[in-house]
Amino acid sequence: MVKRISQKDLIVEYFINHPNKEVPHPEVVDWAVSEWHKRTGEVFRDPDRAIRSLAQQGFLIKVKKGVYMYDPEHVEHRDLEDFTPAQKREILERGGYRCAVCGKGIEDGVELHIDHIRPKDLGGKATIENGQVLCAKHNFIKKNTGQTTTGKKLFVNLYEQAKAAGDDELMNFCASILEVFEKFNMNGHIVWKK
C-alpha cells in the first residue's frame, strides 16, 4: 500500500522543489489541486489554509499578500520550538500584556518576554498553551528552571531570611507553603532545612 501523503505535505513538496522563489498564491494552489486529484482522485478543499498554516509555523515566508517563499536557510536556522510572531501576539493578548508573576506591563517600564512554561530543554513545545508572558526580570529568574523550582527556591530563601530576622510569622507562612511542596513531592532536590 502506498503511504498517503497529507495535503500539507503536497504544498511542502511544491515549495521544496521551488526554493527561494517568490511564489504567487494561484501558482501553488493550481498545482496542488490538480496534483492532489491526480494522486488521490479527491478534491483538495482548502489549499489556502494549508499555506497559511505553513507560514504561521515559520516554514514559509510571507513575502507580501498572496506571495510566499520557502528559504531552506531560514527554516534550517529557525528553532522549531521557538514561538512564531503570530503565536507571541496571541500569548501576549491572552496574558493581557502583563508579566504572569508580578503583573507589570510595558507602561510600568518593564520589557515583556514570551516564556516556555515547560522549558524547551525539557521537551516544552512552541504551543500557545505552553507560552506565558514574563517581564525580563522574572524571565531571568525562571530561565530554564521549572516554575515550581523557582517557586520553591524563593520560599526557601524567604524562610531563611525570616529565620535570620526572627520573624516568626513570615517563617510560619513560608513553612506552610513549603509543606505543600513536600506533600505533593515537588522538587525534592531543593533542600529545605526546618
CB closer to Zn ion, 67 vs 102: 102
CB closer to Zn ion, 67 vs 140: 140
What are the two backbone dihedrals, phi and then psi, of residue 69, each rounded to the nearest 5 degrees? Answer: -140, 145
Shortest gap between Cβ of 166 and Zn ion (angstroms)?
Answer: 30
Q: Residue from 28, 51, 54, 101 that binds Zn ion (CB under 5 A)?
A: 101
CB closer to Zn ion, 101 vs 156: 101
Shortest gap between Cβ of 116 and Zn ion (angstroms)?
Answer: 16
Look at residue 111 and give its three-state secondary structure.
coil
Pattern 127-166, Zn ion, x by CB under 5 A = --------x--x----------------------------
Determine if 99 is a binding residue for Zn ion (CB under 5 A).
Answer: yes
Give 113-160 as a DSSP string.
EEEESS-GGGT--S-GGGEEEEEHHHHHHHTTS-HHHHHHHHHHHHHH
Going 70 to 71 to 72 to 76, the CA torsion angle's sign is negative
Can you read off the three cell numbers belonging to residue 51?
499555506
Size of the site for Zn ion (CB under 5 A): 5
Rounded Cα distance between 39 and 114, Å, is 42
CB closer to Zn ion, 132 vs 187: 132
Determine if 114 is a binding residue for Zn ion (CB under 5 A).
Answer: no
CB closer to Zn ion, 9 vs 93: 93
Identify whether the C-beta of residue 117 lies closer than 8 Å to the C-beta of residue 131.
yes
Residue 133, burial from CB neighbour count under 10 angstroms (0-12, 13-18, 19+):
buried
Determine if 180 is a binding residue for Zn ion (CB under 5 A).
Answer: no
CB closer to Zn ion, 142 vs 152: 142
**Neighbouring C-beta atoms of residue 156, cutoff 10 Å:** 19
Determine if 67 is a binding residue for Zn ion (CB under 5 A).
Answer: no
What residues contact residue 168 under an 8 Å CB cut-off, 6+ apart? 162
Determine if 11 is a binding residue for Zn ion (CB under 5 A).
Answer: no
Shortest gap between Cβ of 168 and Zn ion (angstroms)?
Answer: 29
Q: Residues in the site for Zn ion, rule: CB under 5 A?
A: 99, 101-102, 135, 138
